[in-house]
Amino acid sequence: MATKTIIKWGLLLGIAVALGTQILTWFGLGLTNWFILLTYILVIAFVILGLIDLKKQEEFKFNFLNAALIVIGIIILSRLIFQTYMFVYTRYIDPSWVETVAETWTISLQETNVAADVIESQISNFRKSYETLPMYTSSLIFLAIPQFIIGLIISVIFVIINKRKTGD
């Protein structure tokens, strides 16, 4: 049952983040703080919904380790789905997206008087993060770490609440 929960909520979260990202991109907000906020809100909502769904299955024994593993599974699957969406988007749907964002970001950084070497470094790192291998390795890990932390905090809270309600 836990595997089904991971697959169900990981798929839903991955699709929601990809869809949310596309909507933000249509409104010109693709790499702004709105993207970060959207991602965290969706992670929190879908992790909670996944744990609630799992709690309804009576044979599942709730403890921190079990809850944390479920959360990590949901997040890893959702990140893989999102990274695949970004791969398809940047390779086939809008191949100029990375360069367009890099140019826009460069202008924005120049307007805020960021040093030229810092701009060059940040833009270079941004471009590298959308190459195929980094997209599925370092970028995946880097983006998932804050989500893991949020998920672990939710797991602790969820287990504590569950223990109080069941009296364990």
Calpha distance 59→79 (Å, rounded): 28
**Closest Cα to residue 163, out of 57, 48, 84, 63?**
63
In this predicted structure, what is the pLDDT of residue 9? 95
Indicate the pTM of the whole model. Answer: 0.79
The structure tokens 């672990």 sit at 152
Mean pLDDT per 10-residue run, the chain (168 residues)? 89 94 77 77 91 80 83 91 90 89 85 89 84 70 77 84 72
Calpha distance 4→134 (Å, rounded): 29
